Structure 1
Amino acid sequence: MSATQTVVLKLSVPDGANAEFDALQDVVAELVTQALSKSYSTKLTELPAYQAVRAQDAAYQGRVALALATALNHCTPADYRSGYTIGELLGALLRGTLGLTEDDYLRLFRLYNLTFSAAVPSPYLWPYFPVALTLAQLSRLVKKQGRLGQPMREYLGQLLRYSATGQGDLIKIRLKTQEVLNLAGEQQAPTVAFVEGDPFGKQLNQFLAGLNPLAAAEWAGLLQLWQKATTGQPTAKLRKALDASSSAIGPDAVRQQGRAWLQLLADIPVVEQPQVHEYGNGTVYNYSTWDFLMESNAIVAKGLVWTVQPLADAALLHLLTALASKCFRKIPGKGPLAPGLGNACLLALSQNGLPGVAALARVRSKIRQTNTQELIARYIAKESQQLGVSPAEIEDMAVPDFGLEQDRRVEELGDYTATLLLADGKAEVQWQKAGKSLKSAPVALKSTHAAELKELKDAQTQTQQTYAAQRDRLDRSFADERRLPWPWFAQYYLDHGLLRLLTQRLIWRFHYPDGTHRDALYLDGAWQDANAQPVPLPGDEGHVQLWHPVLCDAAEVLAWRGLLEAHRLRQPLKQAFREVYLLTPPEERTRTYSNRMAAHLLKQHQFNSLAKLRGWRYRLLGAYDKGYDSEIASLSLPAHDLTAEYWVSEVNADGAWNDTGIYHYVSTDQVRFTRGNEPVPLPEVPPLAFSEVMRDVDLFVGVASVGNDPQWRDNGGLAQFRDYWESYSFGDLGEVAKSRKLALERLVPRLKIGRVSEIKGNFLVVKGHRHTYKIHLGSGNILMEPNDQYLCIVPDRSAKTLGASDVFLPFEGDAVLSIILSKALLLMDDDKITDQTILRQL
């Protein structure tokens, strides 16, 4: 034994404080000596000294436990090895049967420093006291004698209040303390206490305190079960107990109260708290924490979600969807806000049939974590298997229509008429009284029709969310080349209250039973081709496919674009004006890979977000030892049994990583397609799938490239990549930028900038009063003539973008196009600029 260990075991105990220690000091010393010198493979219970103690009666073992607790009480942090060993020995004894009385257990708790005095350090600074095991032993005693003495009852009440102030092990202690008090059986309702470190815990305690004794007993029994929601899914035993407790209270009452608590959880603000940590060497580290729920109350919230899972109605599903989105909100340096609670919400949604699948589809579009997106996909696939349909089909079936007919839903509320209208992708509510339009919801209805108003507001929110989710689903579905039977298409798309608006503004390919096909758009109440000629329906034996410009020649694509412009029809997603990526001669020569999108420098976090948004799988590269210096972003193409890969590598230069060790930048490499981990020759990849994958990758580069950041060079950047920034900022145009150029060639002459602007090569050239400016059509960056001096103008992304909002576009406008128009409008009147940052450059 070391000198420190000998001191610990030869403690001088105050007179009369612990006679057991004096009598058993040698026993304790031998136990600790053997435990400290044992091999790693030897168990404590195999030590001769321990087995000798176990051979004695329960009373003797109880005295040894008290002696060990005394020794442990006198350990200091410097005696950590001895303290840990003594704690293990005491814990081992407490797993057996000890002959201890209530007074003995009170002595043990006090030896653990659980005296609730500010003068005594918290026992969790010294983590070896087996408090939970001691409470388990006490519960055995209570079961046996059926009661608790007043001193112990008062002490446990103090412990319950004390344990309600912390997290971690204190959660287990609080639950065990409640269990012991409940075993005594002297109160009408079970003892349940929640941490009041957040609004949810406070609300639960207030709720229980305000109930009558009978209701309190029923609700406390249910809420006590919630504290056991520590696993990923409820066990069969807990599921049965939750259902039985809900039945005892009444499903309607649980459903109603559950809505209120879920609404509270959805409304609790997520507050950033700045923190400062000072190291001993004088270094100061500033960081932030984010307050939402205390750890123990997050567990309780999972229990709430599990309870309402089989009771969910439309309102509950809406709240579960909102809470799931909130829980997977990304927190800097941490990850998802509350993934355990979020997963509980997803599980609850997955157990609610088609409405639940629809909710999962809505929430999936808001989640960026790949593993969570895959979890949602598994839930949808499981439900589709049970119904005997494909995952895509069940998503079709699950889309709610929210009561929309002809793009609207009309509600009569008293003397007022509310119309929920879906137009141009926006859900809004319009009000009328006696045929006269009103600006907003009448104040009088807030007291007479509060429930109906809330339901209408929820319907508006869900309609907007569902429309966006389904639009994005269709936008990602081109590569699948999915063919829908006409009856299915008619039922779930064309005649659907919500999807109808999407369907009728898109071009579809009709496949006829005889093997022919025609392309058609629903226009002026009939299906027409690109020349505005009628197109016959394919019939019940025919199929329908979402049209893509790669499926036809350039002349037909131009005809469709002309038709859209002539009828001023804005498509909900870019289709007729969609960029097409065809195989190039260099790609035919490289055969199995494309370098078209290689050698770019991307902002990694922005690239990661875009990749997840488009359904790609990617792991952030970090400056830590995990053996990676490269990564692959991959996209599964199950319809073709292919996987697309975009290779990237870390940029390890000049400390280019953030506080969490994640690299700021990655450099790009090849695009490949594989099947079963084997490369597939590019000419064998279906052209539509190839085009869509390359479009995604072009989007990643076009948005995440440092060349798009007007401040990157001036803010330092990476010196070795300055040439790349220059070449990208003012170089050749990619396919997206070429599409933008075509749009600007049509737009500019119609705008007020048209009299001083023109398209020249890769630039929009604007003549101002001070200079002539060249705005690059790819990056939106600016050069000033005559010497191509760089002009840095950072767009205000919070302000409404000028230029595009009042001009018809037959497709969803991109952000860079709007930025280019805004800069042009500013620079044409450069004599009116007041911003000093810009003026100093002019």
Structure 2
Amino acid sequence: MVGITGPESGLDRAVGRERAEGGAGALREFLDSLDAAGRRECALALHLRVCRRTDEDLAGPALAALARQDLGWSAAEAELLLGRLLGRAAQVAPHELERSFLALVPVALAAAERSGGYDRPRIRVLRAAAERLRVFRNDRFAALRDRMDALLVSPVRVEPGLLPAHLLDGNDDFGPAMRAAHGPLLTGPGVVEFLGHCAEVGKGRATRSWRRRAAELLAGAGAGPEAVRLLLEGVVAQSEHRVADPNPWGTAVPTLASEGNTTLLRGVLWASLDVPARWVVPLVGAVALHAGTGLGGSGGVCRSQSLATAAVAVLGECGDGRGEEAAQWLGRLPGKVRNRTVARGITKALEAVAARSGVTPSMLRERGVATLGLDGRGIREVRLGAFTAELAVREPGAALLSFLDPEGRPLRSAPKEVRETRAGELAELRAELKRLKGLLASERARLEEQLTAGTTWPVDDWHRYCVDHPVTGAVARVLLWEVTEDGGARWTAGIPERTGGGWALAGADGTACPVGPGARLRLWHPVRAGGEEVAEWRAALPGGDGSRPFQQVFREVFAPSPEEAADGVSGRFAGRVLRYGRARALMTERGWSGNHLGYFRDGWSARMTRELPVPGEVPAAGATRWRAGLPVELVDEGPDADVTPRLCVTGPVRFDRGTGPAGARTAWTEAAVADVPPPAPLGGAPGRGAVRGGGGGGGLRDGRSLSGEPWGLREGRGASPGSP
């Protein structure tokens, strides 16, 4: 602003005369006497008065007239006007912005249109508000909405050596950090144009035309791939924090980046598919894991649902040599990501990668299991001076870190010399031990999923990815398998044992069935076996399943009752009163999802559901899907009812049928119990561990409940809710 002799001083006198003379045109006369620069300065002053609700009755009409004139606006002035409306420096409250929308917004849009420099995230927020106001008020807002649509699709004006304000904006901690750390690289030749295109990616998946243009810009930017890597590494290192998003009507939930920077990062994620570097898949997977993890490290409210969803979708697009690695990252995510929207995307992406490979998702994930440097014995030896450390995996899937003295004798713990002189190497080994334990846990869960799905393996894959694998083999070799060499007409069960020429399956009677070159194998399941075979194996393993990775031979199987077949639903586990907190935690751990119960509207009942594994070798994309549902209702417990729900009661289990890719919002239709094909994995039902006072558990083992196993629906084909 100029001093007291400039336009603003004259503006004060003109406004005073206008008010004193009752609208005699003094303000208009004064504005007409100024040049473009003077009128522009007055427009800024009038805009601030309307924001502060000062002289609004006079300033509003004058501001509307100035908004229609070409005043030579600069990008800095456009940024100032938009910043007064939204963001950290906003001069107007959200409800006042809506009330004075037609007075405040047109001049800001005029400045953006004339200067070509403007904050696109703020324009997006104003555009949404204009649409909402158009619906609820009148069509005067439609013209503003259309002008903003034109601004949002117009090319970004790029000045050499300068990064536009809307790229890596200052509404969060991420943008300023990236500008400070990598400013010269981000403003290099072609990089700004590339980032500008990334900031224009749509809310859904990137279109083919967008990706083609992104690839062209990336190829023309020498430092483009490096910019992609640095920005993705930056967001993986960024902790959640409250951002100053320009949307004043949003919920201020901590996240990783502002709305504008999140959009930019989503574009960077999609563009990374065209970077031919080995770091792409691990870095995109790390973004998915970091963004999808709940606030504080757990929970369903993830750090950034938008970024997690985009990263998962990008992993689902990986093909050629990247497919197996992408499948490994997608397989790691469910253990950390609890958000249902992201979880649906994970399932859909994994099956897309598997469909391109022609195998089931679980088989694809097995192909890329890391060995962590273990040899064929399942051991990795590391020399630490005169001592030796051994990282090993032992059946039935235990990870160990042990130490040997110079003579090869085992030690009870790390020797003092190693702790003092090799502390860094020792810390790395302990980190590898932790990773190995996590990998073994994943393999146990994955093999149990294959058990319920009935996945079959070609013999070469079974050798390479199961029994001969340094990690998976420790779990697979203690399980009961069955083999066929005649296309599935006859299956022979046994426990794998090495022979001189390869592998054989040792039967319960001591005989061995060689695994030939044309064989196919699958995990044995009591739901497919006759009663005599089950009894024979249980007699051959008197110790039960305690030494096995999960319940298999002693897995409970329930035949459907006549009442269940007639009713179409199963009331076997209905009417159980459960401790709600424990029951929900167990169900969530085992893949069930549903609304919370509580003393609020619509919190009195919920339906917990779990989508079931697709059986056999059918490519998941075209298979019929099944879903189990267990209704739960809130039980009032008296004086604590207004604090936290403590008890719930279960209803009958129902099954739904659906088609289409997993993770999609498919329309499910209810199916009768008799229609569900075996083995119909349900994932468990409530048992003793959740029943108040230790009541009956329906035959569940050692109080554990809500497990991961099938419910059978025909004679001899049952379900076992008893496995954790």
Q: How would you bin the TM-score normalised by the shorter chain?
A: 0.5 to 0.7
Of the three residues 353, 356, 378, the one matched with 2:326 is 356
- Distance in 2 separating the partners of 1:462 and 1:21: 76
Gaps of 5+ in 1: 1-11, 30-58, 144-155, 274-286, 708-724, 741-776, 780-812, 816-842
Indicate conservation of the 8 Å contact 1:621/1:629, yes or no: yes
Partner of 1:484: 457
Residue aligned with 2:314, SS: helix
Displacement, 1:311? 3.3
Write the mapping of 1:446-525 to structure 2, written as runs, cut at 5 A. 463-513=436-486, 515-523=489-497
Indicate conservation of the 8 Å contact 2:255/2:304, yes or no: no
Indicate conservation of the 8 Å contact 1:509/1:546, yes or no: yes
Displacement, 1:204? 0.7
Residue aligned with 2:481, SS: strand
Indicate conservation of the 8 Å contact 2:545/2:551, yes or no: no
- Distance in 2 separating the partners of 1:507 and 1:631: 35
Of the three residues 568, 574, 580, the one matched with 1:598 is 574
Of the three residues 203, 209, 231, the one matched with 1:231 is 203
- Distance in 2 separating the partners of 1:207 and 1:71: 36
Of the three residues 563, 572, 578, the one matched with 2:555 is 578
Q: 1:90 to 1:249 in 2, by over 3 A?
A: same
Write the mapping of 1:181-220 to structure 2, written as runs, cut at 5 A. 183=157, 185=159, 188-192=161-165, 194=168, 200-209=174-183, 211=184, 216=188
Confirm or deny that 1:14 pairs with 2:18.
Answer: no
Indicate conservation of the 8 Å contact 1:70/1:111, yes or no: no
Of the three residues 396, 406, 429, the one matched with 2:376 is 406
Instruction: Give the letter aligned to residue 633 of structure 2.
Output: E
Q: 1:634 to 1:171 in 2, by over 3 A?
A: closer
Partner of 1:672: 654
- Distance in 2 separating the partners of 1:417 and 1:248: 51
Residue aligned with 1:597, SS: coil
Deviations, residues 74-120 of structure 1 (Å, cap 9, x unaligned)? 4777999x999989x959x96xx7422349995996799689999x9
Residue aligned with 2:512, SS: coil
Q: 1:86 to 1:527 in 2, by over 3 A?
A: farther
Residue aligned with 1:734, SS: coil
Instruction: Give the letter aligned to residue 648 of structure 1.
Output: P
Of the three residues 618, 623, 633, the one matched with 2:609 is 633
Displacement, 1:521? 0.5
Indicate conservation of the 8 Å contact 1:164/1:195, yes or no: no
Instruction: Give the letter aligned to residue 572 of structure 2.
Output: R
- Distance in 2 separating the partners of 1:649 and 1:79: 59
- Distance in 2 separating the partners of 1:108 and 1:673: 56
Partner of 1:549: 526
Partner of 2:364: 394
Displacement, 1:379? 1.7
Q: CA RMSD in A?
A: 5.9
Displacement, 1:138? 3.7
Deviations, residues 15-61 of structure 1 (Å, cap 9, x unaligned)? 1369999999799x9xxxxxxxxxxxxxxxxxxxxxxxxxxxxx99x
Q: 1:814 to 1:261 in 2, by over 3 A?
A: farther
- Distance in 2 separating the partners of 1:346 and 1:199: 24
Residue aligned with 2:516, SS: coil
Instruction: Give the letter aligned to residue 601 of structure 1.
Output: V
Q: 1:344 to 1:411 in 2, by over 3 A?
A: farther
Confirm or deny that 1:341 pairs with 2:307.
Answer: yes
Gaps of 5+ in 2: 1-9, 28-34, 130-149, 244-250, 616-622, 659-667, 706-721
Normalized per residue, which structure has more helix?
Answer: 1
Partner of 2:287: 323
Confirm or deny that 1:302 pairs with 2:266.
Answer: yes
- Distance in 2 separating the partners of 1:271 and 1:71: 32
Displacement, 1:628? 8.6
Instruction: Give the letter aligned to residue 177 of structure 2.
Output: Q
Q: 1:427 to 1:566 in 2, by over 3 A?
A: closer
- Distance in 2 separating the partners of 1:580 and 1:396: 28
Q: TM-score, normalised by structure 1?
A: 0.58
Deviations, residues 289-334 of structure 1 (Å, cap 9, x unaligned)? 6465444444444344334344375555334334323322334997
Q: 1:79 to 1:130 in 2, by over 3 A?
A: closer
Partner of 2:70: 99
Confirm or deny that 1:697 pairs with 2:684.
Answer: yes
Of the three residues 414, 418, 421, the one matched with 2:392 is 421
Q: 1:495 to 1:431 in 2, by over 3 A?
A: same
Q: 1:380 to 1:117 in 2, by over 3 A?
A: closer
Residue aligned with 1:571, SS: coil
Instruction: Give the letter aligned to residue 343 of structure 2.
Output: Q
Displacement, 1:360? 0.8
Write the mapping of 1:54-453 to structure 2, written as runs, cut at 5 A. 70=46, 73-74=49-50, 98-102=69-73, 121=91, 126-127=96-97, 128=101, 134=107, 137-138=110-111, 140-142=113-115, 183=157, 185=159, 188-192=161-165, 194=168, 200-209=174-183, 211=184, 216=188, 222-228=194-200, 231-236=203-208, 238-240=210-212, 242-244=214-216, 246-248=218-220, 250=222, 254-255=225-226, 262-270=232-240, 290=254, 292-311=256-275, 315-331=279-295, 335-350=301-316, 351=318, 352-402=322-372, 404-406=374-376, 408=378, 410=380, 420-423=391-394, 424-427=396-399, 439=414
Indicate conservation of the 8 Å contact 2:354/2:361, yes or no: yes
Partner of 1:766: none
Instruction: Give the letter aligned to residue 422 of structure 1.
Output: V
Indicate conservation of the 8 Å contact 1:634/1:646, yes or no: yes
Which has the higher Rg, Structure 1 or Structure 2? Answer: 1
Deviations, residues 456-507 of structure 1 (Å, cap 9, x unaligned)? 8887666544443332122233332333343443343233343322221210
Residue aligned with 2:352, SS: helix
Identity rate of aligned residues, in percent? 18
Higher relative contact order (CA 8 A, sep 6+): 2
Displacement, 1:673? 3.8
Indicate conservation of the 8 Å contact 1:171/1:296, yes or no: no
Indicate conservation of the 8 Å contact 1:630/1:649, yes or no: yes
Indicate conservation of the 8 Å contact 1:631/1:648, yes or no: yes
Indicate conservation of the 8 Å contact 1:181/1:191, yes or no: no
- Distance in 1 separating the partners of 2:360 and 2:288: 25
- Distance in 1 separating the partners of 2:571 and 2:193: 64
Q: How many residues are treated as equivalent by the alignment?
A: 625
- Distance in 2 separating the partners of 1:510 and 1:574: 20
Moved more, 367-376 or 616-625: 616-625
Write the mapping of 1:745-784 to structure 2, written as runs, cut at 5 A. none
Displacement, 1:547? 0.9
Q: 1:673 to 1:226 in 2, by over 3 A?
A: closer
Q: 1:180 to 1:520 in 2, by over 3 A?
A: closer
Q: 1:197 to 1:241 in 2, by over 3 A?
A: same
Partner of 1:736: 700
Instruction: Give the letter aligned to residue 495 of structure 1.
Output: D
Q: 1:736 to 1:217 in 2, by over 3 A?
A: same
Displacement, 1:358? 1.9
Of the three residues 615, 625, 628, the one matched with 1:645 is 628
Displacement, 1:395? 3.7
- Distance in 2 separating the partners of 1:84 and 1:657: 56
Q: 1:262 to 1:572 in 2, by over 3 A?
A: farther
Displacement, 1:339? 0.5
Residue aligned with 2:650, SS: strand
- Distance in 1 separating the partners of 2:397 and 2:155: 58
Residue aligned with 1:100, SS: coil
Partner of 2:516: 539
Indicate conservation of the 8 Å contact 2:612/2:627, yes or no: yes
Q: 1:559 to 1:666 in 2, by over 3 A?
A: same
- Distance in 2 separating the partners of 1:133 and 1:241: 32
Q: 1:142 to 1:524 in 2, by over 3 A?
A: closer
Residue aligned with 2:181, SS: helix
Indicate conservation of the 8 Å contact 2:121/2:259, yes or no: no
